[in-house]
Amino acid sequence: MDEKLIVQGGRVVTPVDVIEADVLIDGEQIAGIVAPGSVPWPGARVVDAGGCYVFPGVVDPHTHIQLDTGIYQTSDDWQIGTRTAAFGGVTTVVDFATQFEGMTLPEALDARLKECAPAYIDYGLHMMVTDLPRSPAEACCWLEELRDLGVPSIKLYTTYRPNYYADDAELLHTFRAMPDDMIAMVHCENDAIVTDATARLVEAGHTGWAYHGQGRPPEAEVEAIRRVMHLARAAGAAVYIVHCSTADSIRQVKKVHASGNTPPVYCETCPQYFWLDDSRYAGPKAEQFILQPPLRPEAYQVDLLDAWRSLSAVSTDHCDYTLAQKVEFTDFTRTPGGLPGLETSFSLTYTYGVHLAQERQAAGEAVEPIPLPELARLVALEPARIFGLYPRKGAIQPGADADLLIYDPAPEVIIQADGQHTIAGYTPYEGMKVKGRVRTVLSRGMVLVEDGHLRGEPGRGQFLRGKPFVPLTSRK
Ligand SMILES: [Zn+2]
């Protein structure tokens, strides 16, 4: 495809600024950002961005499309999962391949790539490493081979027995085996605290959804994060703490990161942790809010406006279990944990971090709305950099893939399950009002979503080989 295209009349969000400009697209790449109307290409196709912001397409570094945990399977597939992503303005996901029992890492990658084939958008993969050789040298060879296959990031868990759980010795072994140019994402919840709290609730007969939050207290997360950062420092490994659900967690990471005495440590949070709190477990439809880590009491809840400078990304941890799967058991220990989020993530983050923050500031509250280039950093630039996809992905600049999210900030939209493209059959944000709407989405120069319709064929998405990890130079 060598079609020339002009995205005209929008306010373009670059890594440093918001400028009125036209974006020129030649084939699959951005060719230039020029003054409005100074179009050197008569006859080129024009995409109207009047009244809209033009953001880089969202890079979601943490999704679980077509997830098989060994216990539960989500009901979506890569066609459904990437379709719902596209409607949310997400043009890249970095999802996971799982090393199931008996598999080498290349085998696990191959198996996952076959599943990914029907994707509408581009994708990278992290590897859920569950079994490395005991020999340090051999373990290192395995990881180097994985990195050379385009997967520079692995995922580890401090909980979830028996399939994913890694104890301290295993964490340390893996961190030590990691080459310097790889990074480990870690799910942090202290397994002993979670197991003990859950066992006590079960013994008391408290297995209803109302007790889900109590089974996984905030202290479990904060403790595990602190420990993982210590182990990573001992081994010289770069880590990325996934789905921070408490403000304390983010502060811990910030403190260590800013000290500069360690290998890099990054963290993310997800919209559910700043939009929702644990009162949902006491209310109706509590099953729709079961996830790990759980929603937190208000006092622990992430205040995005406090935290955005310390965050590397806002991801979704998207997990598309159907409502039927959610209600199959009324016992919180058996209800599959995870929420659909790809389609709502950007508008929720924009609404909370920009629009509502501006309203709160105008009302005299001491909050700092997220500047739009910083929003673009959190949803695209920094995840792309950390996971080796930049500069092809992550920013609007010449030479980058033409992945664009044209966002109309004017309308007020009520989120409803009805309008969603997941197969979950529900949304945890039902009835909530967001400001703005995804108007048009471009993926590698192709208009993928327009007027509420998806163009393009499944299978057009490409596997993105992540480049080896390079620490970001600036420490905040
Ligand atoms: Zn996850």
The residue extents of the domains of the chain are 57-386
Count CB neighbours of 205 within 10 A: 8
Q: Enter the DSSP assignment of 380.
A: I
Query: Mean pLDDT per 10-residue run, the chain (476 residues)?
Result: 88 96 98 91 94 98 95 95 98 97 97 98 97 97 98 96 90 97 98 97 97 96 97 96 97 90 92 98 96 96 95 97 95 96 98 98 96 98 98 98 98 96 96 98 98 94 97 58
Give the pLDDT of residue 475: 41
DSSP string over 42-107 = TT-EEEE-TT-EEEEPEEES-EETT-B-SS-B-S--HHHHHHHHHHTTEEEEEEEEE--TT--HHH
Which residue in 280, 332, 321, 347 sits closest to 426, CA to CA?
321
Q: How many residues does the chain have?
A: 476
SS3 content of the chain, % helix, strand, coil (to 5): 35, 25, 45
3-class secondary structure, 10: strand
Q: How close is the Cα of 410 to the center of ligand 1, in Å?
A: 32
Q: Enter the DSSP assignment of 399.
A: T
Question: How far is the first Cα of the chain from the last one, in angstroms, to the nearest whole number?
Answer: 41
**What is the C-alpha to C-alpha distance for residues 449 and 468, in angstroms, rounded to an integer?**
32
Q: How close is the Cα of 255 to the center of ligand 1, in Å?
A: 24
Count CB neighbours of 266 within 10 A: 24
Q: How close is the Cα of 365 to the center of ligand 1, in Å?
A: 33
Per the listing, tokens 């600024």 go with 17
Q: Do residues 9 and 53 make contact, with C-beta atoms less than 8 angstroms apart? A: no
Q: How close is the Cα of 164 to the center of ligand 1, in Å?
A: 12
Q: How close is the Cα of 18 to the center of ligand 1, in Å?
A: 32
Q: How close is the Cα of 39 to the center of ligand 1, in Å?
A: 44
Beta bridge partners of 434: 413
3-class secondary structure, 376: helix
The model's pTM: 0.97
Q: How close is the Cα of 64 to the center of ligand 1, in Å?
A: 6
Q: How close is the Cα of 377 to the center of ligand 1, in Å?
A: 21
H/E run at residue 372 = helix 372-376
Q: How close is the Cα of 386 to the center of ligand 1, in Å?
A: 17
Which residue in 265, 347, 361, 280 sits closest to 310, CA to CA?
265
Give the pLDDT of residue 476: 42
Highest CATH level, class, for 57-386:
alpha beta
Give the angle subtended at the CA of 110 by the CAs of 108 and 115, to the nearest 5°. 95
Q: How close is the Cα of 98 to the center of ligand 1, in Å?
A: 12
Q: How close is the Cα of 453 to the center of ligand 1, in Å?
A: 29
Q: How close is the Cα of 185 to the center of ligand 1, in Å?
A: 10
Q: How close is the Cα of 317 to the center of ligand 1, in Å?
A: 5
Q: How close is the Cα of 4 to the center of ligand 1, in Å?
A: 38
Token pair, residue 288, equals 């729709």
**What is the C-alpha to C-alpha distance for residues 210 and 284, in angstroms, rounded to an integer?**
10
Which residue in 78, 44, 105 sits closest to 423, CA to CA?
78
Q: What is the dihedral of CA 436, 120, 470, 140, to 10 degrees?
A: 140
Q: How close is the Cα of 360 to the center of ligand 1, in Å?
A: 31
Q: How close is the Cα of 70 to the center of ligand 1, in Å?
A: 15
DSSP string over 205-268 = T--SGGGHHHHS-HHHHHHHHHHHHHHHHHHT-EEEE----SHHHHHHHHHHHHH-SSS-EEEE
Q: How close is the Cα of 38 to the center of ligand 1, in Å?
A: 45
3-class secondary structure, 24: strand
Q: How close is the Cα of 458 to the center of ligand 1, in Å?
A: 24
Q: How close is the Cα of 366 to the center of ligand 1, in Å?
A: 33
Residues 6+ apart with CB under 8 A from 160: 69, 187, 191
Which residue in 172, 159, 153 sits closest to 228, CA to CA?
172
Q: How close is the Cα of 431 to the center of ligand 1, in Å?
A: 25
